[in-house]
Chain A
């Protein structure tokens, strides 16, 4: 099979004309979203162009250390994005989120690339970087949902937490409702998506692979593995972040330190 037809730069510009539709809708209904939308489209384009050029260079070079450094940068950006979007305090959650993301990514990458695909070189850029990127992108989404649910609920329903502790619960038991809510909020969409994937949507990676010249069967195998690894890594990240940050947000009396969520 041949790889995807290139899109020329003028043709790419032609594609941008489609944006007139959402821009008119956002402007007409005075949503206030027109400016942010234009900025976002601009940023998305610049970032992707930059990454495209950068990745071409990285793939050509394919140096283990550069690849690892790139993964590390992706984890750092994912950490900051997660903490900021969850309205959490950077100084409290930066380290827990970073450790959890890094740990989940390392475990899943090693397992998937080393044991499932059985790559000779685990650090091969054309596998390591796109797969880590996809895992991280999905981890960010579930992590933001999970963490903000957990900590906001905990701050809002502090009396229930105390009620549990003052009626015989261990700290783990007292935190159970918050963990349950966090997991339900963040993973219900993932679970629902898995149930309909292929029927009403063709996932990005699979589409990309088919366009890139892979056979649909190979593309589907990758997609199945990717859905599984996304599910596993994002659940690991949410749970690990909560476990690690619990060490920072409670004092030795199991009391919640004053303010844990930066709500506006």
Chain B
């Protein structure tokens, strides 16, 4: 496959900590719009892989190309402008749910995509949330609701690549399906998710099993 149609190309990527290899010579090509599940036991390096792809952890060897740009110090900021990452858990010192959701839209780059009231409501409903949640205090909502708030914010950013860390870990089955339906059916976006969820894995086109030292299938 040529580089034009691949959003992510990883070649011979290795990363270790304290002498222990976490990612070992991983090579994978991820075409535009692909849905990728990163699986493996805890501590197998799933989050390390995602962090490496976003340039938060630097590889020991190998190369990464995202959206046709080599991941290096001159491109990393351009690359990050085109992605959205939703961590599994995030502590933010913000009291109001509306402000929590709007956090990414305070950044200059996202000002243009600031959602209207309607699209905000639509995004919340899409993930099974009532629009009144925006008036709640952050401390009043559950972990699952908070996770969906961050996912709703990400969905409104319309990014080319999404990195989702355990996107359904705190969700009930109904909410999980809503998230899955949305993210796994985004034809224009590549979605890389760290997940333990069998259904999510089954519906992904590419599975990277980190138990096998990061050999992509």
Contact = CB atoms under 8 A, between A and B. Distances in A.
Interface of A: 157, 159-160, 162-170, 173, 177, 181, 251-255
B76 A160 contact: no
B108 interface: yes
A167 B154 contact: yes
Interface string B65-85: 000000001001100110111
B167 interface: no
A159 B55 contact: no
Contacts of B81: 168
B55 A253 contact: yes
A253 B56 contact: yes
B56 A167 contact: no
A166 B77 contact: no
B45 interface: no
Nearest to A252: B73
A28 B101 CA distance: 53
Given A177-B93, A253-B73, A254-B77, A163 B85 contact: yes
Contacts of B103: 164, 167
A159 B103 CA distance: 14
Interface in B123-178: 153-154, 157, 163
B3 to A, nearest CB: 22
Contact of A168 (B89, B92, B93, B109): B109
Nearest to B76: A253
B109 A169 contact: yes
B87 A159 contact: yes
Interface residue range, chain B? 20 to 34
A252 B75 CA distance: 11
A169 B87 contact: no
A177 B103 CA distance: 11
* Secondary structure type dominating chain A contacts: loop
B21 interface: no
A-B interface, 8 closest residue pairs, ranked by CB to CB distance from nearest = A166-B85, A252-B73, A168-B109, A167-B104, A169-B107, A168-B110, A168-B107, A253-B55
Nearest to A153: B93
Interface in B34-68: 51, 54-58
A225 B97 CA distance: 43
Nearest to B88: A159
Contacts of A163: 85, 87, 90
Given A167-B103, A168-B110, A253-B55, 12 more contacts: A159-B90, A162-B51, A164-B107, A166-B54, A166-B84, A167-B110, A167-B154, A168-B157, A170-B108, A252-B73, A255-B55, A255-B57
A160 B55 CA distance: 15
Contacts of B80: 165-166, 168
A254 B54 CA distance: 11
A193 B157 CA distance: 44
B200 to A, nearest CB: 21
A159 B58 contact: no
A162 B104 CA distance: 12
B1 interface: no
Contacts of B54: 162, 166
Contacts of A167: 83-85, 103-104, 107, 110, 153-154, 157
A167 B161 CA distance: 11
Nearest to B55: A253
